[in-house]
């Protein structure tokens, strides 16, 4: 069966953003990200709009055309941007307040004015996700769960986490993590205990070539789509399978690649 997904994709290797339909290689669009470097984060914020976080802030795009409809370009060191249901936006990164050796989460109102800041010491952070009244921060070899002031609540860690990329709190209280260079997925229960790992090099066919598990998304039917990033630069498309799909139990059920269009899939937002 042909994988049937329509999604936005950040190709980090070529610094491009794509709209892709796996059923039709000629569909969709692509745009260069030269003006918006180090784009990492993607979020759907409406039927026809998506938020794209990049090194200096974020942009809002029209999903169907790829047109930029709003820009917030203000900092240096942004690693994540997240729109909340009430219209506020959370911006996470390193030293966003002008300090040193710190992780910041800034809260912006609907007019993009900073209305709250939170800071803690740290030298690494990637994607941030809200978790209850606090946050999940990917801090290299562990996930740090904090309150809204970035005070630690607990650590989630598994052997092999290296540049852990993304953690997401699920509806049942469990947490799913992409292990970065560990090249596996990890699931923790509601108490923070490691339940299982899946998708590692010894659990998938050799042609998958797990290198770095980056952005993932739990789909409506319980499947888990994972971006398998293959390295910096423009010529990585043939090194492994770029998009992996696991069932809810962690068994690999499908893969997809387009090495002509994409070098290194890092950001992923499934639309349908």
Domains of the chain: 6-270 (2.120.10.30)
DSSP 8-44: EEEETTTTEEEEEETTEEEEEEEEE-TTS-S--EEEE
Successive 10-residue mean pLDDT values, the chain, 272 residues: 89 98 93 97 97 98 97 98 97 94 97 97 97 97 98 98 98 98 98 98 98 98 98 97 98 97 98 95
Q: CA separation (Å) from 131 to 93, 97, 116, 136, 236?
A: 17, 23, 18, 6, 34
User: What is residue 60's predicted lDDT score, i.e. its pLDDT?
Assistant: 98
Q: Cβ(134)–Cβ(120) under 8 Å?
A: no
pTM score, whole prediction: 0.96
**Six-digit token string for 192:** 């923070």
């Amino acid at each position: 069966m042909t994988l049937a997904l329509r999604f936005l994709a950040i190709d980090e290797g070529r610094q491009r953003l794509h709209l892709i339909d796996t059923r039709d290689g000629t569909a969709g669009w692509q745009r260069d990200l030269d003006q918006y470097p180090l784009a990492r984060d993607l979020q759907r914020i409406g039927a026809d709009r998506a938020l794209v976080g990049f090194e200096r802030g974020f942009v809002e795009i029209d999903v169907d055309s790829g047109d930029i409809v709003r820009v917030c370009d203000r900092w240096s060191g942004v690693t994540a941007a997240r729109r909340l249901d009430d219209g506020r936006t959370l911006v996470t990164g390193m030293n966003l307040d002008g300090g040193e050796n710190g992780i910041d989460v800034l809260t912006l109102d609907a007019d993009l004015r900073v209305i709250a800041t939170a800071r803690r010491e740290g030298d690494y952070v990637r994607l941030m996700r809200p978790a209850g009244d606090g946050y999940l921060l990917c801090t290299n070899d562990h996930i740090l769960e904090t309150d809204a002031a970035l005070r630690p609540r607990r650590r989630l860690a598994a052997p092999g986490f290296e540049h852990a990329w993304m953690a997401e709190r699920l509806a049942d209280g469990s947490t799913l993590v992409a292990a970065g260079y560990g090249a596996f997925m990890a699931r923790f229960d509601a108490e923070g205990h490691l339940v299982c790992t899946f998708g590692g090099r010894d659990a998938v066919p050799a042609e998958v070539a797990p290198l770095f598990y980056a952005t993932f998304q739990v789909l409506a039917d319980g499947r888990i789509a994972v971006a398998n990033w293959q390295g910096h630069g423009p010529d990585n498309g043939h090194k492994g399978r770029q998009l992996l799909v696991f069932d809810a139990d962690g068994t690999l059920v499908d893969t997809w690649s387009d090495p002509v269009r994409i070098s290194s899939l890092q950001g992923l937002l499934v639309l349908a």
